[in-house]
């Protein structure tokens, strides 16, 4: 009986290690997708606010709806980044969690990070 147990131990350990690795990669991909959706919505909100400045108060409902959707996407991204967590976040209690700190770069994240705000030249006399 003891010999059989020793044969299965490395196999069980390998399956657990591979399973953990696959789970982290899966969570990382889902979190990167959630981050990309959030970044695209932030760009859309920036464009809508720019249009709102040009038009005046026209399109205020669109901006508010986009901002609300952006907040939901931020919450979704936070939940996708979480690997494991317990507790409830409230004024009297704290939520403890283990989260993915960095995610792989994607085309959307590269575009978002490389985008610089428009620089205006100030003429001095």
Q: Residue 24: name the closest of 83, 66, 64 by CA.
A: 83
Q: pLDDT per position in the chain (125 positions), as tens?
A: 566 667 788 899 999 999 999 999 999 999 999 999 999 999 999 889 988 888 877 778 889 999 999 999 999 999 999 999 998 888 999 989 888 888 888 888 888 877 756 555 554 54
Quick one: three-class SS letters along the chain?
CHHHHHHHHHHHHHHHHHHHHHHHHHHHHHHHHHHHHHHHHHHHHHHHHHHHHHHCCCCHHHHHHHHHHHHHHHHHHHHHHEEEEECCCECCECCEEEECCCCCCCHHHHHHHHCCCCCCCCCCC
pTM equals: 0.73
């Amino acid at each position: 009986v003891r010999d059989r147990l020793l044969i299965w131990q490395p196999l069980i350990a390998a399956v657990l290690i591979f399973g953990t690795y696959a789970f982290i990669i899966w969570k990382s991909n889902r979190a990167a997708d959630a981050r990309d959706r959030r970044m695209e919505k932030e760009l859309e909100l920036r464009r809508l606010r720019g249009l709102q400045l040009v038009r005046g108060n026209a399109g205020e409902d669109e901006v508010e709806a986009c901002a609300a959707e952006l907040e939901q996407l931020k919450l979704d991204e936070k939940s996708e980044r979480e690997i494991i967590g317990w507790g409830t976040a409230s004024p009297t209690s704290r939520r403890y969690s283990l989260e993915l700190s960095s995610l792989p770069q994607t085309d959307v994240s590269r575009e978002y990070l490389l985008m610089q705000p428009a620089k205006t030249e100030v003429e001095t006399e």
